[in-house]
Structure 1
Amino acid sequence: MTIRHQSFGLKHLSLLFTATVCVLPGLQPASAASAPVYTEQGKQWTHAARLQYYSQDQGSRVMPLQWFLALKQANGKPFLDDSLSRYGYLPNPDSKTQGLPVGFTVNGNAVGMTCSACHTRQIEADGKAYRIDGGPAISDFQSFAADLDSAVGRMLDDQPSFDAFAAAVLGGSPSAEQKTKLRKEVETWYLPYHTIMSIALPKDKPWGPARLDAVAMILNRVTGLDIGTAPDHIIKSNIHLADTPVRYPFIWNAPIQDKTQWPGFADNGNDLLGLSRNYGEVLGVFADFYPEKAPGQLLGFDYLKHNSANFDGLKAVENLVKKIGPPAWPWKEGKWAVNAKLAAQGKAIYESPTQTENGGCAGCHGIRDGIPRALNKTWATPLCYVGTDPKEFELFGLTVDTGVLAGAKIPFLEKPLKAKDENAVRVLSMVGMGTLLQHTKSPKTLDLELKAQTDLGLIERLAGEARAAKDRKVKEISERLLKKQADMVTADNAQLKGAYQTMQAPPSPQQAGGYACKDKFTDPTPAIAYESRVLQGIWATAPYLHNGSVPTLAALLEPAQNRPVEFKIGPAYDPEKIGLAVEQSKFDYVLKTTDCEGANIKSGNSRCGHEFGTRLSKQEKAALLEYLKIL
């Protein structure tokens, strides 16, 4: 989950123009049955790569596959009916398990989710559907997660429903003992799932399609469900309302950015940092993970024993993402074809050295060398405060109990965790670094741990030895390992320190001191700043701003007070305004945004900020938009 988010957004030429343009003939939704047109995304992005991307396992474990297939909706239809297209997920006719959509995978007996579920987009215009791989999904994850919770709860509460479920899962006429065992297994699964969904999902202001609060849900999952000292591992008080939705990012240039996540708190740009980024994602989408104290491990904790993450799969996904190119504008001829002369005029505006209301986008969004990562070349991803909604930074002020991880540390990289009132992001950092250091440790480390574990095994087998003597020997072994911890930290893996950076406290907009940029998350003022990504393929990524509060690129060229107060979200596409069409039929959802007055600017849904290009003439705006189609 994984969790990275923001970009240069733009908007309707004026509210009047928006109001007068209804559904144009070219903007009618495509037939659900029509095969998509795949946009051009570079020679490396082959059909074989696409199919692997759609189903590559990463270690996510939603639930046993047979349960998933047996569950029913409230209307009695299978939960998997329509391949989950009601939530915006896309059909995958090549799935080895019939009915599973793009981004849903099977490993062993479990169904899980993978990167492509949230990073594959399909838009509709001119009666056709256009597929954009690596684009932000127009899917409603909150409704999917909440309905899955309701389906299981409803089945457990209704005996006939449970009996039908048991018959489907177990086959034939299962015995009472078999059904009792199955019920206990389902209840064990349901307890943590229902706990997090009932507390974290916002009920009065749902995320809606194309958005989710990824960082909060990862923090909730790790600190609320995975590190408790009780047998169920739950620390209910660590779960917070996830009410800071951001839009899914596009990922075709994610591997080369020098920072990622919308606030830019994650260093990025090489394979190890990419693995860290993707590992954080799988922790948020149903990985099985329970760290435990382990005196035979160099770090004193075992982060891998109970960990379903598929590290080979995570690496495979990263290698696939490196092959995804930005999508080419799909209309080569006809009324939506690019006007080359107008686009050339827009290029000059885009590359203007002046970053003002009159243009100059490239100053923040242009391609330039970033911070090198282990000799890897990167693109700079400056962090800029441009007056947009700062609510996401409240996540850096969340504190939690650390449960089983109290006292965990990584010499030179992460100081010991306090038992209570610890920064939640620091807990995620400890888990991420601890897991990857344990996963990538050297042969020397393995030999040392093997000897320690052998010694511990001998101690356990010593008959009749006093408990105090055993404890003393275990302590000696642990201390010997602790003295060697520094050997795990090399020049290469020390970069993990920047994988999850924290703040002392959430900042206020006043601290930013107006529009300004910084190159590092840890730089001083401005404290509130979101990543300004290179804008290749930006035409395919609406809605805009990090929180998805502006529906089109044309709209973002208007002052905040002139942007739509509310709009529908769905796949119907407007090629003229470049973004979401006014009318949508896929979802019954309207995003209501807030203005810039008082606390409204930090509602999570504020349409404020990023007022660049707002003083361009109508002709200049049209030229800039034309260039953004081919960027």
Structure 2
Amino acid sequence: MTRTRARTPVAAAVAVLTLAACALWQPIKPTPDNTPLPDPVGPMSVVTLDQGWDQSTRMSYWFTSQGSQIVPYRWFLVLEQAHSTERFRSDAHIEQLGYLPAAPGPGAWNPDGLPVGFTKASSKGQDWMGMSCAACHTGQINYKGRGLRIDGAPALSSFDRFYAELVAALQATQADEAKFQRFAAALGQTSPAQQQALRDDLARQTRDSAARLALNRPTYDPGHARLDAFGNIFNEVLVTALDQPSNARPPNAPVSYPFLWDTPQHDKVQWNGSAPNGPLGLGEVTRNVGEVLGVFGGLHIEDCKPQGCSYPSTVDIVALGHLEGWLRSLWSPQWDEKVLGPLDRELARKGEAIYGQQCAKCHLPIERTNPYRRITAQMHDVGTDPAMATAVAMRQALTGRLQGTPIITSLPKRFGDKDGGATIVVQGAVGVMLSTKEARMATLRALIIQYEAQLADELRGAGQFKAPAGWTHEKPSEELLNKVLATPAPHEDPPPSLAPYKARPLNGIWATAPYLHNGSVPSLWALLQPVAQRPARFFVGSREFDPVRVGQVSDQGPSLLDTSLPGNSNGGHLAGTTLPEADKRALLEYLKTL
């Protein structure tokens, strides 16, 4: 298959979007190991690791809104579960769905005790509950009654179940008069006029939420720890924003949530390497805008004329600049011997030599705290499940009202009646960023924030690390932004395979189960076995850690993963599978040290 390449660096920087890479920058003070979380929820002692963030930074990352609007905020605080009088947001229910409960505070952060990654945003006089990237990219592992909270690690949550149960709760509140009366009383809506207005609002919200649920319902439940983020983003832009129902496709290529450390330092991100960083930080802003479009960013593509369209949305572009800049200072986690047990360093030294032979060609080693670290994507087709990469590469869609309008990233080209889904999604994200003067200024501000965050991170490493020869910076300006937008991008040949995936450095890999891009292998030990010996069915979603196999306990959990279902193959990635068992043990011990 041949694919048309856009002709500006913006297109090169924003080829396809990612559900990843968010963070908020502030001056950073390193946090000591085993710092207790403030006011931890529940009886378990939960601590954080030294990943370069202080507590203020962590709270900002968890609870800063990026413009996502799911349901009215006050509703979420009091909404009951569909088949119970218990609050939907109760800690027990949130835990069942795989999200992380959090106590109120500290300070002004999270005054109502929302779960990690759940946010409050105001728009046109209405407060909304939404999600930030922390909801899907904050992990926790438990071992012998203690918990390790790991920033940037993949979540073990089930967004599909969360949203299905939220819609069911709204529908039950609308249909059950006693439930509605409790809902109205909790909101202080007691008069007949107030209750009628609330009924009308509830009916609209329930209708819209149910429609979104139907649009993004996968054929098979991906369960905990996985989501077809691209499928959701594509549907929200190609169907909802364009009002083209025939463009709908089930999101049937679920993947494990990527881990976020080192994301700004990569030249390309996303499992399929389809979202380049740069130039000038435009790629970073664009993929983050696209991420929000998939999690209730409210995009509409409208008022299309020969010169272009308008792209109103609820996305907070400036906040995304902060979020991306903050992520730059996040380090990968290191094995905590106080909680998880001591490392066998002699065995690990043997494993390091094996790693050099078996793994290092694809998974390049890096210095985890070096602010000048840069990672070049190593793209390989190693026989793993092709569903995700193929779905992104092959998706086509009717352009609808975009037909005949300019393709922002490929001027002076215009849309025909059909185009690649990725091209249309990028058009939506770039339109949000550049189609109005206000959006353009917000984008420029986000670029400057990212630039300042990079300088701050390098200053933090001063005295320990030195900049490589020729290391330069260009501060974003309107003039430079215009120059970048007008400069043709270098030609890049399409990959020889439709199913290449990115092999990234493995620092912190011990904290990121389940493994492979689609989460089809429960532990690193299982990944080192021949395919026929890997578990064909196992449970996902338990936070209980197995330090011997290095992964979550998989004989119990809220979701059963069946590798025989489409998109769930556990095949491929055969490196290390033919080693003697003793060498596998040594390699595994070394992987714990990264």
TM-score normalised to structure 2 length: 0.79
Structure 1 CA distance, aligned partners of 2:492 and 2:532? 30
| Mapped partners of 1:66, 1:409: distance in 2 | 41
Match of 1:386 in 2: 382
Q: Is the 8 A contact 2:515 2:523 kept in 1?
A: yes
Q: Residues 418, 193 of structure 1: CA spacing in aligned structure 2 closer, same or farther, 3 A cutoff? A: farther
C-alpha distance in structure 2 between counterparts of 1:434 and 1:218, whole Å = 15
Q: Which residue of 1 aligns with 2:344?
A: 339
405, 410, 418: which one aligns with 2:407: 410
| Rounded Cα–Cα distance in structure 2 between residues aligned with 1:368 and 1:133 | 19
Cα gap change, 1:528 to 1:141, in 2 (>3 Å)? same
Q: Cα offset for 1:299?
A: 5.3
Number of the residue aligned with 1:615: 578
* 1:271 to partner: Cα distance: 2.4
SS at match of 2:561: strand
Moved more, 605-614 or 103-112: 103-112
Correspondences of 1:533-612 after superposition (within 5 Å): 533-569=504-540, 570-584=542-556, 587-594=557-564, 603-612=566-575
2:119 matched to 1:105? yes
Q: CA deviation at 1:529?
A: 0.2
What is the match of residue 174 of structure 1? 191
Maintained 8 Å contact 2:408/2:430? no
Partner residue of 1:40 out of 25, 50, 64:
50
Distance across 1 between alignment mates of 2:281 and 2:152: 18
User: Percentage identity across aligned positions?
Assistant: 36
Give the whole-Å Cα distance in 2 for the aligned partners of 1:494 and 1:264. Answer: 24
Corresponding residue for residue 249 of structure 1 = 258
- Indicate how the Cα distance of structure 1 residues 156 and 533 shifts in structure 2: closer, same or farther if over 3 A, else same: same
Number of equivalences:
506
Measured in 2, the distance between the counterparts of 1:161 and 1:579 equals 42
Q: Which residue of 2 aligns with 1:435?
A: 432
Q: 1:121 aligns with which of 136, 139, 142?
A: 139
1:285 aligned to 276, 281, 295, which one?
A: 295
In the TM superposition, residue 210 of structure 1 has moved relative to its aligned partner by: 0.7
The aligned runs of 1:447-466 (5 Å cut-off) are: none
Distance (Å, rounded) in 2 between the aligned partners of 1:527 and 1:396: 7
Instruction: Kindly state the Cα deviation for residue 571 of structure 1 after the two structures are TM-superposed.
Output: 0.8
The unaligned stretches of length 5 or more in structure 1 are: 6-29, 229-234, 353-358, 370-375, 447-486, 499-519, 595-599
How far the C-alpha of 1:213 sits from its partner, in A, is 0.5
Q: Give distance in 1, aligned partners of 2:179 and 2:492.
A: 51
1:515 is matched with none
Residue 590 of structure 1 aligns to a residue in which SS? strand
**Deviation at 1:539?**
0.5
Gaps of 5+ in 2: 1-16, 22-39, 445-478
Q: Deviations over 1:79-120 (max 9, x none)?
A: 111272221211222243323111011122111110110000
2:76–2:89: 8 Å Cα contact kept in structure 1? yes
Measured at CA, do residues 401 and 154 of structure 1 come closer, stay the same or move farther in structure 2, by a change above 3 Å? farther
Query: Are the counterparts in 1 of residues 158 and 225 from structure 2 also a CA contact under 8 Å?
Result: yes
RMSD over aligned CA atoms reads 2.9
| 2:499 is the alignment partner of 1:528 | yes
Instruction: Please report how far the alpha carbon of residue 252 of structure 1 lies from its aligned counterpart in structure 2 after TM superposition.
Output: 0.5
How many Å apart are 1:135 and its aligned residue?
0.3
> Could you tell me how far apart the structure 1 residues matched to 2:589 and 2:132 are?
34
Q: Is the 8 A contact 2:514 2:521 kept in 1?
A: yes
Note if 1:157 corresponds to 2:167: no
* Partner SS for 2:119: strand
Q: Which amino acid aligns with 1:564?
A: P
C-alpha contact 2:510 2:550 (8 A) present in aligned 1: yes
Check the 8 A contact 1:120/1:137 in 2, yes or no.
Answer: yes
Change (3 A) 1:156 1:496: farther
For 2:281, the aligned partner's letter is D
Deviations 1:311-365 (Å, cap 9, x if unpaired)?
A: 12111111221111000101158x831111111111111112xxxxxx2x11111
TM-score, normalised relative to structure 1? 0.75
Decide whether aligned partners of structure 1 residues 39 and 397 sit closer, same or farther in structure 2, where only a CA change above 3 A counts.
Answer: same
Contact 1:300/1:408, CA 8 A, preserved across alignment: yes
Query: 2:304–2:401: 8 Å Cα contact kept in structure 1?
Result: no
SS at match of 2:362: helix
Alignment-derived partner of residue 363 in structure 2: 365
Q: C-alpha offsets along residues 426-471 of structure 1, whole Å, 9 cap, x if unaligned?
A: 210111222223368879xx9xxxxxxxxxxxxxxxxxxxxxxxxx
Matched, 1:208 2:205: no
Judged with a 3 Å threshold, the aligned counterparts in structure 2 of structure 1 residues 56 and 302 are, in CA distance, closer, same or farther, namely same
Aligned counterpart, 1:453: none
Conserved 8 A contact 2:403-2:415: yes
Shift of 1:489: 7.5
Relative distance call for 1:242 and 1:319 in structure 2 (3 A) is: same
Deviations 1:234-280 (A, max 9, x none): x3332221111100010011111111121111112552211112111
Distance of 1:496 and 1:557 partners within structure 2:
44
- State the match for 2:232 in structure 1: 217
Kept in 1, the 8 Å contact 2:224–2:558? The answer is: no
Is the counterpart of residue 96 in structure 1 residue 110 in structure 2? Answer: yes
Residues 494, 162 of structure 1: alpha-carbon distance in 2 compared, 3 angstrom cutoff? farther
- Counterpart amino acid of residue 380 in structure 1: T
Q: Secondary structure at the match of 2:142?
A: strand
Q: Report the equivalent of 2:467.
A: none
1:238 aligned to 243, 247, 266, which one? 247
